[in-house]
Amino acid sequence: MITHGLQTVKILARGTLLGSQEDVFSGWLLVFDDITQLAEAQKHRAWAEVAQRLAHEIKNPLTPIKLSTERVRRRFRNQVDDVAVFDTCTDAVINQVERLQRLLADFSDLATLPKPKMEEVSIATLLQELRELYSPYHNLIFEGMPQGQVFVTLTKFAKY
């Protein structure tokens, strides 16, 4: 991890020993990748899983609570001294359970990633864009660029 001012960047470093035909040491090849977005995506996915599990665990007892309250109302409504108070209390439990169920459904939906949207992408165009993006780096060489039309299906996440 590298921090500069308020910005933190997560770096993945990999390296290999370079050798020639005669196994003579000729240096190292080091590759540094910025994995900040990947790390953030993994963290968000982990929290999304926690949110879904939490919502599921809270949701489990809500249905029995609501059903039990409805049964109590049907069974004992005629036996209470003050029906209005009894109805108010049972209505409060039922309404709050329903409110929690809606809240948990929204919370669970929020934690779910959007479905990927599939689209056709021209590999030649994609590679050309990559070539243009990395053209300032003179030590990068693009060889064997495809000619004509070649297509592959990539995923592009839908946005809300």
Residue 25 lies in a domain: no
**pLDDT at residue 32 in the model:** 80
Question: What does each C-alpha distance from 127 to 120, 144, 146 come to in angstroms?
Answer: 14, 11, 9
Does residue 5 lie within any of the structural domains?
A: no
- 33 located within any domain: no
Q: What's the pLDDT at 158? A: 41
Both 82 and 123 in one domain: the answer is: no
State how many domains the chain has: 2
- Do 101 and 120 sit in the same domain of this protein? no
* Domain co-membership, 104 together with 123: no
- 59 and 81: one domain? yes
Question: Would you say residue 1 lies in a domain?
Answer: no
Residue 58 lies in a domain: yes
User: Are the beta carbons of 119 and 153 closer than 8 angstroms?
Assistant: yes
Query: Does residue 44 share a domain with residue 99?
Result: yes
Q: Is residue 101 part of a domain?
A: yes
The verdict on residue 139 lying in a domain is yes
Buried b (16+ CB within 10 A) or exposed e, 95-131: eebeeeeeebeeebeebeeeeeeeeeeeeeeeeeeee
- 131 in the same domain as 85: no
Question: pLDDT in tens for each of the 160 residues of the chain?
Answer: 777 677 778 888 888 877 666 666 677 777 888 888 888 888 888 888 888 888 888 888 999 999 999 999 999 999 999 999 999 999 999 999 999 888 888 877 776 666 667 777 777 777 777 777 777 776 766 666 666 655 555 555 444 3
pTM (2 decimals)?
A: 0.47
Same domain, 54 and 85: yes
Residue 103 sits in the same domain as residue 120: no
List the domain range (segments joined by +) for residue 121.
114-160
- Predicted local distance difference test score (pLDDT) of residue 160: 35
* 94 and 123 inside one domain: no
In-domain check, residue 81: yes
Looking at the DSSP bridge assignments, the partners of residue 152 are 121
